[in-house]
Structure 1
Amino acid sequence: MATGWAGDGAVHEQIDATINDAVERARRRLGQGPGRERCEECDAPIPEARRRAVPGVRLCVACQQAQDEDAAFSAYNRRGSKDSQLR
């Protein structure tokens, strides 16, 4: 089904392009190099296996989990229920 000037599959192509751009941005943000031998937050040793698995690692597992939990918190209700919008 064609809509206006857009060809068939144009919406899917746009979605794919958006996803590919997001993946490339995420890959550019990944660390580079061997990583740190000690955590920059708590100075605990970072195991060799973690440094090989996560290039450019800076934090130990415990500090990384704490940072991820802090980043996951949001004061906004993103569920979009009608009850939350009416309040």
Structure 2
Amino acid sequence: MATGWAGDGAVQDQIDATISDAIKRARSQLPHGPGLEHCEECDAPIPEARRKAMPGVRLCVACQEAHDLEQGAVGGYNRRGSKDSQLR
């Protein structure tokens, strides 16, 4: 199919690049290094199992959930939009 200067797979390449960038951004925001034994916000103890599962953990589960809810409310992705609206 002729699409001007864009190659045949240009749209899919753009979608793949967008997803790859989002994955890199999410991974860069993950904590790393030694985890804390107590939550840095409420000083509650962080279980050893959580510290092993999440290297670099700094928050207890309750504070992490609250933090995730705050971050989700500001997210700029339209996950409900139609495919056409996402390609414009």
Which bracket does the TM-score occupy, shorter chain normalised?
0.7 to 0.9
**CA RMSD of superposed structures (Å):** 1.9
CA distance in structure 1 between the partners assigned to 2:16 and 2:40 by the alignment: 37
Aligned residue in 1 for 2:43: 43
CA distance in structure 2 between the partners assigned to 1:15 and 1:71 by the alignment: 23
Amino acid at match of 2:31: G
How far off is 1:70 after superposition?
A: 2.8
TM-score by length of 2: 0.75
Which stretches in structure 1 are left out of the alignment for 5+ residues? 81-87
Which stretches in structure 2 are left out of the alignment for 5+ residues? 82-88
SS of the residue corresponding to residue 5 of structure 2 reads: coil
TM-score by length of 1: 0.76
Mapping 1:7-86, distance limit 5 Å: 7-73=7-73
Whether contact under 8 Å (1:45, 1:60) holds in the other structure is yes
CA distance in structure 2 between the partners assigned to 1:70 and 1:25 by the alignment: 18
Larger Rg: 1
Percent identical residues: 71
CA shift in 2, pair 1:70/1:29, >3 Å: closer
SS of the residue corresponding to residue 59 of structure 2 reads: coil
